[in-house]
Structure formats: C-alpha cells, structure tokens
A = this chain, B = another copy of it.
Amino acid sequence: MKSIFIAFFGILIFSSFVFLQKKQRIVFFGDSITQAGVQPTGYITKLADLLKQKGLENNYELVGAGIGGNKVYDLYLRMEEDVLSKSPDLVVIWVGVNDVWHKRSSGTGTDADKFEKFYTAIIKKLQQKNIKIALCTPAAIGEKTDYTNELDGDLNKYSAIIRNLAQKNNCTLVDLRQAFLEYNLANNKENKESGILTTDRVHLNEKGNQFVAEEMMKALVNK
C-alpha cells in the first residue's frame, strides 16, 4: 500500500515536473537575417544566452527557420513544412526587407497590397492552430539617420502595414525598425550607412545581433 502511495506521488511529482518543464517552442520564421541568427554570434544564439543568464534555458526551445532571399509569399509557401510541422507555441515572423529591396535590385519585390494579403494568410493559418505570433518590422536597408536611405519611404510603408496587422490580429509587435532608428539617432552621429548595427546596411553585425536579441527578450519573454 505504501509503495503504491509513493509510486502515485512519484508520478504526481514527475508529472508536475514535466508540466513545469514543458518548454515553449519558439520558431523564428524569416529571411537571411534569421538564417544567420542561428550562427554562433547570431541573434537567436544570443537570445538563448540571455535566457540562460536568467535561468530560463529550460523554459524555451528556440528554432531557426530562416532562408535567404525569402519574401512574405515564400514564407507562406513553406509554412506547413518548416513551421507547422514543428508544432511551435510561438512563431516570430520577421520579413519585409526583400519584399522592398528586390523591387529595385531585381524587379521582383512584393506589392504592398499583396504583402498584406499573404501576411494575413500566414497569421490566419497560425491562429487557427492557436499558435501565438510575434511580428517584427524590417529593421533597415541603410542606417543613415537623415532619411536619405534610398528605400526608407517604402520600408516605413511596409512597417506601418505590419504594425497595423499586429494590432488588428492581437499579435505581439517587435518594432525593430523603430528600435534601430532610435539607436542610430543616438549612436550614428556621423550618419553612416552601415557599420552601426549592420555590416552591409541590412545584415546584422555582432552589436546588431545582440541588440535584436535584447529587443526579442523584452518583447517575447515573461509577457
């Protein structure tokens, strides 16, 4: 009888332990910036470090799902295979730079109305499965602070679309564009086009990866 009782308690404790330990799986869904995020100095790796510093490493499992050159419709095409198949609790979507940039670089960007349409379709599919969502605005194509980065206007337009989508669909917003702009206004006094948070106007340098990890930490953890 006693042994049964102990066994019962053991199971109970174990169960609750497992329950407490149930890791929240976060999939980072994006383009080349996110593809690089799982590298040793990438923002996803750095976010894992930040979680560890707070003793939260057992609460979260971070999964990278970034592919270079991806636009919003590329995410839509591969979301079953690369995201839903991983049964995430939370999906962090960070896309938009290529949708704007490729208009100029190769004539194959994404129209603003189509951008919103595909983005909405992704959100709907995730919400149907009760997956939480965080939306990130595209950080930068150029770090100049005097509004002379060639694609600033269009990038602001697409960021406005994303902010609006976050609000309309009750998604967490990680407003990296705003955060980058404020950081550059404070720290890029020479109005340089890269080298502050990016290596090449778009992709993150180590400081940029750290900065994004911290912004993600603030927005995603303990909320």
The answer to whether A108 and B106 touch (CB under 8 A), given A150-B157, A153-B148, A154-B150, is no
Q: Shortest CB–CB separation between residue A132 and chain B, in angstroms? A: 23
Residue in B closest to A111 when the chains form the complex, CB atoms: B108
Interface residue from B106, B110, B118, B151 paired with A153 (Cβ < 8 Å): B151
Decide if the interface of chain A is mainly helix, strand, loop or mixed. Answer: helix
Q: Is there contact, CB below 8 Å, between A109 and B108?
A: yes
12 contacts between A and B (CB under 8 A): A73-B118, A76-B76, A103-B106, A108-B110, A142-B153, A147-B152, A147-B153, A148-B160, A149-B157, A151-B153, A152-B156, A153-B153
B residues within 8 A CB of A106?
A: 103-104, 111
A200 located at the interface, meaning its Cβ lies under 8 Å from any Cβ of chain B in the complex: no
A55 located at the interface, meaning its Cβ lies under 8 Å from any Cβ of chain B in the complex: no
